[in-house]
A and B are shown apart, each in its own frame.
Chain A
Amino acid sequence: MASPFICPKGHNSADEDFCSECGAKIQGVVPATAAPAQSVPSAKVCPDCGAPAPAAGVNFCEICGFNFVTNTSGQFSVPVVPQPIPPPPPLPPDPPTPPAPPVAAPAAFKVTVSVDPSLRTAESPEAPGDLAPASYPLDKPANLLGRKSEARAVFPEIPLDSDSAVSHRHGLISVTPDGSLIYRDLSSSNGTRLNGTEVKPLVDTPLKAGDKLTLGHWTSIIVEAIS
């Protein structure tokens, strides 16, 4: 029985949260069918949760918040002085330096963030009318969607600061080695919808050009291919 989840000990699990064999917690869910997990033994993994380590310059594990600078675990427990990370590189998708992780090639996708007032619910505050749509290239193996937090040292690649119903660590768009996209909601408070359907938290869902993610009060994110 082929199963879609692999636990840290290497068992095939029928469940997405804990291994159906040994009970170990499954984090950094990778579909067993995609990308052979052990093919990049050199790639760093988070010692706490086993998720792929973030790109150079990112100090925290996207999944569990492990601090790679001080090598301490814990979600929000260590109030270290954050080393400010430069904001995402400017739009031209021409990487000046070859990136360290196995994923190479210029970004093939970008996302365009816009405010869609029609997504508001009755309780939502007034949507800001003066925010122009912004585009961000998906030029890292993992691109965090969320609200920036200096205190928690969260600096998302795709900042959604104006929407208060977006979680600090809301979701992650991963670029797999074969160039396809995967979205994972990081157990956000208010969830994410993909083309109008609520996605399961901590479960990977493939993304393609033209897909629309909606989250928070009014945030709409459209995935586009860069030609």
Chain B
Amino acid sequence: MVDSFKAEVFQNQYLQKGADEVHAIMTVTAMGEATPTARASAEGGRIFGIICDTSGSMEGEKLVSAKGAMIQLIHLLPEDCGFFIVLGDSEAHTVCPLALATQDAKVKAITRIRDVKASGATFISKWLDAALEQFRVTPNALKQAVLLTDGQNDKNDNSLLQYALKRCEGVFQCDCRGVGTDWKVDELRRIANSLLGTADIIMRPEQIKADFETILGKAMSKTAGDVMLRLWTPVGADILFCKEVSPQILDLSTRFRQVKPQVREYPTGAWGKNEVRDFHFAIKVKPGEVGDEVLAGRASLVYTIDQVEQKAAEARILAVWTDDEAKSAKIDHVVAHYTGQSELAESIRQGLEARSRGDVDQATALLGKAVQMANQTGNDATAKLLRNVVDVQDAETGTVKLKAQVAKEDEMALDTRSTKTTRLTKS
């Protein structure tokens, strides 16, 4: 049997007497060859949904670029892939219902897109529900989508959006993109997190095309859909958190399905060949006596083929109590690395928040700390984004000064991309 996933655990299992918190990083690799799940996707097919904002604010260059990007995306769709297009304003318009991406269907879709005019408001809940309706047609397919918007959701739609997200969660995955600077980072990130996708800014309309191409390429590389991360913990244990920490930070803690009293399943969405992700678990266990060894967690990946559950890549998280402080004081360097990356993201989020409140001291301190951590952990991408917002005087000590003038898109880029993490290079 060829295992479809491989898991590796990094942790210091030694705890000092009385300690009860176990931290571990699990690295999961989807194996390249003979992925049994490839079969699953071939059976159910794959569907790519395009959800695009055509509200009044899109008028002009943004709509022209978005149309161009959609047309290119349609051209690039493989013929065996199903697709649909939902254009959204105060209502959702399914201009192309689900169809295979044949030449005919592509031509038809493109003609319909060309005529579209921008008008109306932004009611994202309706767009998502329209997409959901399309995805429901083929329950076994690998279901992915992209959502493009340029504005924030209408106030009257916010509570409806919550419910729509609940309905869509676990049905399809969606990458979210905001074009320009009139949209809300928090809002888009919430949608992307719920739908296990990425959120990002597209600063200028002409960049939509390239970005869509990347998203489609990534979506088409996925071979395994609806993979769940299953975590067993002993009776009386408490899962403090469960986060994906690489390639981006995605807190899954509240997203579990309780399978059995001691077993939870967290969604991880679709996986591509050779894809690598890291997960961080923190589990609170009953403290043991010195010398005790217990299993604090058993993690595995679960997916379904032909309605038969498959389990792969089982990993064990241990806890061993010792009175040897040299053993228990050590922090595993992988755990330390990702703890740092999470802190980095949190400092940026809070720092930007303080900055918009006008709390200069707090913002300077937090963003300075972020600069320092980005520098220490070699997260160059984030360090570069930080330099757009602060003047770095000394990266090592985190001495910075807030820039007086910051472009709105730079601030938003830093905010949305701060959750991207770096991996440790194998030593």
Is A68 part of the contact surface with B, judged by Cβ < 8 Å? no
Closest residue on chain B to residue A11 by CB atoms: B235
Contact of B234 among A17, A19, A48, A73 (CB under 8 A): A19
Contacts A23-B285, A23-B296 given; indicate if A48 touches B235 (C-beta within 8 A).
no
Contact B298 A18 (CB under 8 A): yes
The answer on a CB contact under 8 Å between B234 and A25 is no
Cβ of B293 < 8 Å from any Cβ of A?
Answer: yes
Q: Nearest B residue to A23 by beta-carbon distance?
A: B234
> Judging by beta carbons under 8 Å apart, are B293 and A25 in contact?
yes
A20 at the interface (CB under 8 A from B): yes
B295 touches A19 (CB 8 A): yes
B232 with A24: CB separation less than 8 A: no
Residue B385 is within 8 A (CB to CB) of chain A in the complex: no
Option from B234, B298, B316 in Cβ contact (under 8 Å) with A21: B234
Pairwise interchain contact A23-B291, C-beta atoms closer than 8 A: no
A37 at the interface (CB under 8 A from B): no
The complex places the Cα of A24 from the Cα of B321 at a distance, in Å, of 12
Give every chain B residue within 8 A of A22 (Cβ-Cβ).
Answer: 234-236, 294
Residue of A nearest to B297 (CB): A23
Query: Are A48 and B294 in contact, with the CB atoms below 8 A?
Result: no
What is the CA–CA distance of A76 and B381 in the complex, to the nearest angstrom? 48
Bound: A2/B235 CA distance, A: 19
- Check B237 for interface membership: any CB of A closer than 8 A: yes
Kindly state the separation between the CA atoms of A15 and B263 in the bound complex, as whole angstroms. Answer: 14
| Interface band, chain A | 10 to 19
The contact size tier of chain B is 10 to 19
Look across to chain B and name the residue whose beta carbon is closest to the beta carbon of A18: B295
- Flag B275-318 by CB within 8 Å of A: 1 or 0 each: 00000000001000001111110100000000000000000100
- Residue in A18, A20, A73 whose beta carbon sits within 8 Å of that of B316 in the complex: A18
Q: How far, in angstroms, from A24 to B296 measured CA to CA in the complex?
A: 9
Asked, given contacts A21-B234, A21-B235, A23-B234, whether A73 binds B294 with beta carbons under 8 Å apart, the answer is no
In the assembled complex, the Cα of A81 lies from the Cα of B156 at a distance in Å of 81
- For the complex formed, measure the closest distance between the CB of A8 and the CB atoms of chain B, giving whole angstroms: 10
In contact, A48 and B298 (Cβ under 8 angstroms): no
Contact with A along B330-345 (1 / 0, CB 8 A): 0000000000000000
A23 to B234, CA, bound (A): 5
Docked pose: A119 CA to B235 CA in angstroms: 46
B101 CB to closest chain A CB (Å) equals 46
CB-defined contacts of B236 to chain A, threshold 8 Å: 22
Nearest chain A CB to B261 CB, angstrom units: 10
Taking CB atoms, residues of chain A closer than 8 Å to B295 are 17-19, 23-25
Identify which of residues 16-40 in chain A touch chain B, using a CB-to-CB cut-off of 8 Å: 17-25
For B180-196 the 0/1 string (1 means CB < 8 A from A) is: 00000000000000000
Inter-chain contact B291/A73, CB cutoff 8 Å: yes
> In the bound complex, how far is the Cα of B319 from the Cα of A18, in angstroms?
12
In the assembled complex, the Cα of A17 lies from the Cα of B315 at a distance in Å of 12
B207-237 contact mask (Cβ, 8 Å, vs A): 1 or 0: 0000000000000000000000000111111
Further contacts, 19 of them, CB under 8 A, given A18-B316, A21-B262, A22-B236: A15-B298, A17-B316, A18-B294, A18-B295, A18-B298, A19-B234, A19-B295, A20-B232, A21-B234, A21-B235, A23-B234, A23-B237, A23-B294, A23-B295, A24-B292, A24-B293, A24-B294, A25-B294, A73-B291
Instruction: Supply 19 A–B pairs (Cβ within 8 Å), ascending by A.
Output: A17-B295, A18-B295, A18-B298, A18-B316, A20-B232, A21-B234, A21-B235, A21-B262, A22-B234, A22-B235, A22-B294, A23-B234, A23-B237, A23-B285, A23-B294, A23-B296, A23-B319, A24-B292, A25-B295
Chain B interface residues (CB < 8 Å from chain A): 232-237, 262, 285, 291-296, 298, 316, 319
Residues of A within 8 A of B (CB): 15, 17-25, 48, 73
6 A-B pairs with the lowest CB-CB distances in the bound complex, closest first: A23-B234, A18-B295, A23-B295, A23-B294, A25-B293, A22-B234
